Amino acid sequence: MPPKAKPTAVKKPTQKKPAAKAKAKESTAPAKDDDLKKSVKETTTPAEVTPTPLRVNLKQMDVVLFKDADNKLKDSGKWPLIIDTTTQASTYLIHQDVNYLNSLSSSNMASEAIRLGLLGALRYGKPLVIDMMGVDMFQTISDMMNEVLPGLMDKIMDKSILEEEE
């Protein structure tokens, strides 16, 4: 048997790019740091800034949520969002002076119950707690809120519901 020939690698011809043309396409005026900072400030809005989450144990919840001793909630301009994997926070909140709505209960999520819970929260300064029971129901709750008043969920989320009407 004749010996097998070893395959040889075939090199593809490489195309050389002229360096002068590549440099000519680049911008001749480098961006100044001040212009860059200005453009970043103009495009960044406070809504785009993500707040850092605050981890709180159950014993600290009263101080953080209800007393807001260090004004973190007030200064953030956002409503608190509690993510609890153990249901201890919801059990704790049920026994506090809050307006509590269980999102899985049809009687709690009726238009009249939502309206009364929200009015009580606004009138007496009580927190309105909507417990989603570990189910992603934000869109459903938004739709139910908007049945009470069109655009209600947006007014709640951007806190414009707190502004006085003229």
Tell me the per-residue pLDDT of 71-104, one tens digit each, with 9 for 90 and over. Answer: 777 777 777 878 777 888 888 888 888 899 999 9
Residue 12 lies in a domain: no
- Are 81 and 134 contained in the same domain? no
- Are 105 and 76 contained in the same domain? no
- Are 104 and 163 contained in the same domain? yes
- Are 70 and 123 contained in the same domain? no
**Secondary structure element (H or E) that encloses residue 21, with its range:** helix 19-25
Mean pLDDT along residues 48-69: 75
Range of the domain at 109: 98-166
Mean pLDDT along residues 2-9: 52
Residue 32 lies in a domain: no
Global pTM exceeds 0.75: no
The predicted structure's pLDDT at residue 143: 94
CA distance 48 to 50: 6
Domains identified in the chain, total number: 2
